[in-house]
């Protein structure tokens, strides 16, 4: 464990200090805590039980191409882009990938009963070699969504579809909207980062927005089971890669925009334009947009569909605004003021100003969708929580412990400022950055943690194929750039379980421990392998170990400042408010 404690600068640790773990050699391979948990999710996307076969010639006509010679009489009853998931009668979409072409797996698809293949010219010969009829188009990914919707009978048309986009708050807003729909008596579905739900059935999510083939099948199952409305997260990747092709949302919601996914988007303008695609007549009927966000104001002015605006800051220019906001440790209350003088008592069921914004967004969205605003607000207030979003871990300890998915700079700053408001003691954060993702946010995230928390424990998130040391170096560089007088204690430990334990060991009554970055995730991806790891369970175990000791330690690890004051003293500074 490496410790950096201001304002005394960096000095050599004294002999006998604990081992510095800021290196790959510290700790044995595979020492990350293994978390056992019951898998409460279905792990494969569902398919409808009742399917109406679609003639292949009809699909060729939708593509504007001649039907294949071998396609006479062939009918398609499903579609998938995954050769392993092919079912008899499926159209297998063989797409070009980053490393290999889906046409490499057409034999596997044929063996599982594929009726035909959709591919591009590069995959045409390999697909034809199976003897299956082949639909060839220049952009199979760009047509896959529409074909999937057609094959499954346009299921989205029978659902009230609400799509939520933005950098932060998509998941929470989706849960709140779904809660409001339930409160209004609707049979609901949910699609997002944490999970997909059909009523009470839960399905494990592989990504924020499923591929179009899986999404349209999911909508078909929802329709088959009587679902009336679905709340869904829509990522920028989904909009660019056609995952929501075939969907027209009844209401589209925009939360905010800040730097993220810069490994995918060329710049912020490219990122904004991707999000803006949702607010066009081809994608949505009406938009609900956050007027407190600069990109939201731009979107409200440029959208080519009608727009309803909201403002948690209380802007008089917004159609919906929050007034009389009272923040608490568990929730916030406010008055939702809407069009025509509507005033609704509202409760954000999670703490923090950003959750007031998420709650107001949900209420405005539900009202725009035709739900009575009071009914909507009551349903939203009744949501018991959102997995991995300011989720409390209570093992009887005298301090607050929470897990949150915040994994970008703005989100980390927001959650730390919110927790500072309700923390009488010291604020400790455990935070890392994911590997093989946007590298530009690593320094700023390290700086935010060091500046706004009393203790920042920098650790591994999901290193993936990257060296954890390289990621932590970038984060530590950002932390070190914060002036010493404005910087909290900074610790570095690549072992996430040890980092969580270090934060817990520093907590005193009235303090808050925040474990950020992974939220609901139940695994940690390291060097191509996913190891069981759930922040919530690891945090609980660390607290229980701490409580089982007669007296918690004052701190641990090698300090680079032997003359530094006790790190358990009162909160170091109040600059975290600004």
pLDDT digits (tens, 9 = 90+) for 464-510: 999 999 999 999 999 999 999 999 999 999 999 999 999 999 999 99
- 27 backbone φψ class: left, alpha, beta (φ>0; ψ -120 to 50): left
Residue 235 marked as a ligand binder = yes
End-to-end CA separation in angstroms for the chain: 29
**Mean pLDDT, rounded, for 402-430:** 94
Residue 163 marked as a ligand binder = no
Residue 77 marked as a ligand binder = no
**Mean pLDDT, rounded, for 256-279:** 90
Residue 266 marked as a ligand binder = no
Of 26-35, 211-220, 319-328, the one with minimum mean pLDDT is 26-35
Q: What is the pLDDT of residue 2?
A: 65
Residue 171 marked as a ligand binder = yes
User: Is 60 exceeded by the pLDDT of residue 457?
Assistant: yes
Residue 172 marked as a ligand binder = yes
Residue 51 has φ and ψ, to the nearest 5°, of -130, 135
User: Is 60 exceeded by the pLDDT of residue 553?
Assistant: no
Secondary structure of 480-525 in the HEC alphabet? HCCCHHHCCEEEECCCHHHHHHHHHHHCCCCCEEEEECCCCCCEEE
- H or E element in which residue 181 lies: helix 170-183
**Mean pLDDT, rounded, for 432-438:** 95
User: Is 70 exceeded by the pLDDT of residue 551?
Assistant: no
259: confidence class by pLDDT, cuts 50, 70, 90? confident
Residue 281 marked as a ligand binder = no
Residue 440 marked as a ligand binder = no
Cα 255 to Cα 169: distance, rounded to the nearest angstrom? 7
Residue 43 marked as a ligand binder = no
Beta bridge partners of 180: none
Cα 278 to Cα 162: distance, rounded to the nearest angstrom? 11
Residue 463 marked as a ligand binder = yes
Q: Which SS3 state, helix, strand or coil, does residue 535 take? A: helix
Q: 216 Cβ partners below 8 Å, 6+ apart?
A: 79, 145, 148, 149, 151, 152, 155, 156, 246
Residue 170 marked as a ligand binder = yes
Residue 209 marked as a ligand binder = yes
**Mean pLDDT, rounded, for 247-263:** 91
Residue 80 marked as a ligand binder = no
**Domain annotation for the chain: domains and CATH numbers:** 54-151 (3.40.1390.10), 155-382 (3.40.1190.10), 391-548 (3.90.190.20)
Structure tokens at 245: 């092709």
Predicted model pTM: 0.83
Strand ranges across the sheet with 558-559: 391-392, 400-404, 512-516, 427-431, 455-458, 489-492, 2-4, 558-559
pLDDT digits (tens, 9 = 90+) for 163-199: 999 999 999 999 999 999 999 999 999 999 999 999 9
Residue 521 marked as a ligand binder = yes
Handedness of CA 464, 468, 473, 476 (dihedral sign): positive
Residue 243 marked as a ligand binder = yes
Q: 277 Cβ partners below 8 Å, 6+ apart?
A: 239, 240, 283
CB 91 within 8 A of CB 58: no
Cα 30 to Cα 34: distance, rounded to the nearest angstrom? 9
CB 32 within 8 A of CB 533: yes
> Could you identify the residue written with the tokens 């923090």?
352
Q: What is the pLDDT of residue 266?
A: 87
**Mean pLDDT, rounded, for 248-254:** 98
Q: What is the pLDDT of residue 32?
A: 25
pLDDT digits (tens, 9 = 90+) for 94-114: 999 989 999 999 999 999 999
């Amino acid at each position: 464990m490496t410790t950096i404690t201001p304002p005394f600068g960096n000095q050599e640790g004294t002999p006998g200090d604990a081992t510095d773990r800021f290196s790959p050699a510290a700790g044995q391979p595979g020492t990350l805590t293994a978390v056992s948990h019951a898998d409460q999710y279905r792990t494969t996307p569902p398919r409808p039980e009742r399917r109406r076969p679609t003639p292949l010639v009809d699909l060729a006509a939708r593509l504007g191409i001649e039907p294949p010679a071998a396609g006479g009489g062939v009918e398609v009853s499903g579609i998938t882009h995954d050769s392993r998931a092919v079912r008899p009668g499926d159209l297998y979409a063989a797409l070009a990938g980053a490393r290999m072409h889906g046409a490499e797996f057409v034999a596997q698809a044929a063996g599982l009963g594929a009726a035909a293949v959709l591919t591009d010219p590069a995959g045409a010969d390999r697909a034809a070699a199976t003897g299956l009829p082949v639909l060839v188009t220049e952009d199979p990914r760009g047509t896959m969504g529409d074909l999937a919707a057609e094959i499954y009978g346009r299921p989205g048309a029978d659902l009230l579809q609400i799509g939520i986009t933005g950098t932060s708050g998509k998941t929470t807003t989706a849960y709140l909207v779904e809660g409001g729909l339930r409160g209004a008596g609707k049979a609901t579905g949910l699609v997002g980062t944490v999970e997909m739900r059909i009523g009470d059935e839960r399905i494990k999510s592989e990504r924020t927005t499923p591929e179009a083939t899986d999404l349209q099948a999911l909508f078909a199952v929802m329709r088959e089971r009587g679902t009336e409305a679905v709340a869904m997260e829509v990522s920028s990747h989904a909009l660019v890669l056609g995952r929501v092709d075939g969907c027209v949302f009844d209401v589209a919601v925009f939360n905010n925009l800040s730097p993220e996914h810069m490994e995918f988007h060329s710049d912020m303008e490219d990122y904004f334009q991707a999000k803006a695609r949702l607010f066009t007549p081809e994608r949505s009927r009406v938009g609900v947009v956050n007027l407190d966000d600069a990109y939201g104001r731009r979107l409200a002015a440029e959208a080519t569909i009608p727009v309803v605006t909201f403002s948690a800051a209380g802007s008089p220019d917004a159609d919906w605004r929050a007034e009389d906001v009272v923040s608490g440790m568990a929730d916030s209350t406010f008055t939702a003021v809407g069009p025509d003088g509507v005033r609704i008592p509202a409760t954000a069921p999670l703490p923090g100003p950003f959750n007031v914004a998420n709650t107001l967004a949900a209420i405005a969205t539900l009202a725009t969708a035709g739900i009575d605003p009071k009914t909507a607000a009551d349903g939203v207030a009744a949501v018991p929580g959102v997995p991995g979003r300011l989720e409390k871990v209570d093992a009887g300890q005298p301090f607050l412990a929470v897990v949150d998915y915040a994994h970008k700079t703005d989100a980390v700053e927001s959650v730390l400022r919110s927790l500072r408001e309700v923390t009488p003691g010291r604020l400790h954060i455990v935070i890392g950055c994911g590997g093989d993702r946007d590298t530009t946010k690593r320094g700023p995230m390290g700086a935010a943690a060091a500046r706004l928390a009393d203790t920042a424990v920098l650790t591994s998130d999901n290193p993936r194929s990257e060296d954890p040391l390289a990621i932590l170096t970038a984060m530590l560089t950002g932390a070190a750039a914060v002036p010493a007088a404005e910087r909290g204690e900074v610790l570095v430990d690549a072992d996430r379980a040890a980092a969580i334990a270090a934060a817990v060991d520093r907590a005193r009554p009235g303090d808050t421990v925040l474990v950020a970055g992974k939220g609901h995730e139940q695994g940690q991806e390291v060097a191509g392998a996913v190891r069981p790891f759930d922040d919530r369970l690891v945090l609980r175990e660390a607290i229980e170990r701490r409580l089982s000791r007669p007296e918690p330690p004052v701190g641990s690890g090698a300090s680079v400042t032997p003359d530094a004051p006790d790190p358990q003293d009162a909160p170091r500074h109040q600059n975290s408010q600004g």
